[in-house]
Structure 1
Amino acid sequence: MILKRGVTGFTAGDLSLERDWAACTAEFKKYCYSYVGQLKGRVLAFFEPDIVVGYAHAHVKIDGEAFYIFYNDMYDYVAFSSNCEIGELDFNDHPLLAGLFENPYQVLTAAQLTEPLIFQASGSGNIVLNENDLNDVELRFMNHFRSQTVGDLVFNYWD
């Protein structure tokens, strides 16, 4: 299950989800440089989590193809996208790079991330029918920001 409690970065005060975010990001950065270098590519830029984008990501170039590597530090998820457009990420698969990242991370596929969210009306809002363990805060934000796919939740731009 991808949609675990807190995957959006909103833990609703669940202290069991607390981690050393700086250490997680530093480790991801180290792996980005190492793995991209192994494939004779280069990291064009590395972005730390900030107020706008709550997750680390790297802009990389391998064999003439520039793309992004995203990292969800709540659950050590890694994904690839051809762009960095807020709310319109174009997820894709990079098998060679995925093979390197799959240990110690869980590499999410384009198919997993583009899976549509299935909603059912419930009272004054919606509930999501996809397998999930999201908390109430995440469900409210999901409805407020009109998330449409699993990727919209895992790599969100909610503020």
Structure 2
Amino acid sequence: MILKRGVTGFTKGDLSLERDGVACSAEFKRYCYSYVGQLKGRVLSFYEPDSVVGYAHAHVKIDGEAFYIFYNDLYDYVAFTSNCEMGGLEFIDHPLLADLFKNPYQVLTAAQLTEPLAFQASGNGNILLNENDLNDVELHFMNRFRSQTVGDLVFNYWD
């Protein structure tokens, strides 16, 4: 199950989900430089989490192809995208890089991240039918920002 409690970054004060985000981001950065270098590519830019984008990500180029590596530090999820557009991420698979990242991270595939969210109307909102353990704050933001896919939740731009 990908949609675990707190995966969106909204942990609702659950201290069991707290991690040292700075240390996690630094470790991810080291792996990015190492793994991209092993494939004779280069890291063009590295972005730390901030108030707009709550997850670290790297802009990389391998074999003439530029793309992004995203990192969800709460669950050590890694994903690849062809763009960095707010609300319109295009997830891709990169098998060679995925093979390198698969230990110590869980690499999510484009198919997993583009899985549509299934809703059922209920009262003033919607019930998420996809397998999930999201908290009520996450479900509220999911409805407010009209998330459409699993990737919209895992790598969101909610404010």
The residue type paired with residue 34 of structure 1 is S
Structure 2 residue 101 is the aligned partner of structure 1 residue 117: no
Corresponding residue SS for 1:32: helix
Corresponding residue SS for 1:45: strand
Residue by residue over 1:24-79, the C-alpha shift from the partner in whole angstroms, topping out at 9 and shown as x without a partner, is 00000000000000000000000000011000000000000000000000100000
The residue type paired with residue 5 of structure 2 is R
Match of 1:149 in 2: 149
Q: Which runs of 4+ in 1 moved over 6 A?
A: none
Match of 1:76 in 2: 76
Matches of 2:154 and 2:78, distance apart in 1:
10
Match of 1:23 in 2: 23
What TM-score do you get using the length of structure 1 for normalisation?
1.00
Residue by residue over 1:93-130, the C-alpha shift from the partner in whole angstroms, topping out at 9 and shown as x without a partner, is 00000000000000000000000000001111001000
Deviation of 1:132 (Å): 0.1
The residue type paired with residue 28 of structure 1 is F
Match of 2:65 in 1: 65
Matches of 1:10 and 1:67, distance apart in 2:
27
The residue type paired with residue 59 of structure 2 is H
What TM-score do you get using the length of structure 2 for normalisation?
1.00
Q: Once the two structures are aligned, what percentage of the paired residues are identical?
A: 87
Structure 2 residue 25 is the aligned partner of structure 1 residue 37: no
Matches of 1:59 and 1:66, distance apart in 2:
7
Matches of 1:54 and 1:135, distance apart in 2:
18
Matches of 2:116 and 2:7, distance apart in 1:
17
